[in-house]
Amino acid sequence: MDVCVLGSFAVDLMSVTPQLPLPGETVLGQSFHMGAGGKGSNQAIAAHKAGAQVQLITKTGRDTFAGFARSTYAALGMDTTYVYQDEHAATGTALILVQAGSGQNSIVVNPGACMHLQAQEVERAASVIQSARVFLTQLETNLPPVWQALALARAKGIPTILNPAPFQPLDDAILQQVDWLTPNETEAGLLCGFPVCQVEQARRAAEALRARGVAHVVITLGEKGLFYADAQQAVHLPAAYAGPAIDTTGAGDCLNGALACALSQGCTPLEACRFANAAAALCVTRMGAAASMPSREQIERQLQL
């Protein structure tokens, strides 16, 4: 196993609109799309399509959307051994509005069954967590299973990646379980207590997060690319360009999944960041989340440009 991912699954219900509505405003949509989503699932699919062998740990309900999850993974050839089902909670959903032209979005996530992962379910998956080359997780499920899985991975020396989204306050004891932390600008600012909008602010935030015990920090900066820092280097990688941005939904998930894939296959930190940066550039040129994740061949072609 290259990459093990613990995280959420949700069905994305997406409308493209001329503009994002103001409070109380109704706007007419231009198109509607339904697809697989949820940060954990998106990241697992991104890593899989980028060329990694992936095991996903997540939870759905026992409803129509649960069948949609399983058919999605079957079509991709992904194992569903640890896609658990909850007897009472519904499968997660994400209501997404995308502004035509800019690709900017507003999202409301209802995690549903993903908030009911159990300690025994994580323990049942301990063998795949502890045999992976990289373990990747986020904060879109109930949090005790996340901390439990991070501890299991760290106990065996498995490199851990935490994408701290949606934002939750994180104490130093948690951060010290994390080898790679991958916040976006907003999350980095909330973690550090100051705005992170420019490259120099990202540099300062990366230093602050490293001082709290994280060895590798990747701060994603949207159209400005990403900022990477470790003990030896601090580097800004401008965003790659693969075409006009159509939909930014899932771009951060794409970057995290591709990063995990590259690290699991022996890339250096900067090589892995460049690989992830190229994958995210391709992602934003397509509609949807899971459906927009690029293949290994496409990422390698983008890297040659």
Element at 109 (helix H, strand E): strand 105-110
* Unique residue bearing structure tokens 């800019």: 102
Cα 11 to Cα 221: distance, rounded to the nearest angstrom:
26
The 10 Å CB-count burial string (b at 16+, else e) for 195-208 is ebeebebbbebbeb
CA dihedral sign of residues 39, 42, 45, 46? negative
Do 274 and 238 form a contact (C-beta atoms < 8 A)? no
Does the active-site annotation cover 247? Answer: no
Q: How many CB atoms lie within 10 A of CB 119?
A: 10
Q: How long, in residues, is the chain?
A: 305
**Both structure tokens of 49:** 């399509």
Question: Where are any strands of DSSP class E within 132-238?
Answer: 134-137, 160-162, 180-181, 216-220, 226-229, 234-237
Determine the 3-state secondary structure of 90 from DSSP: coil
Euclidean distance between CA atoms 278 and 241, whole angstroms: 8
SS3 255: helix
Inter-residue contact 78 to 56 (CB < 8 Å): yes
Q: For residues 235 and 229, what is the distance between their CA atoms, to the nearest angstrom?
A: 6
**Catalytic residue annotation:** 253
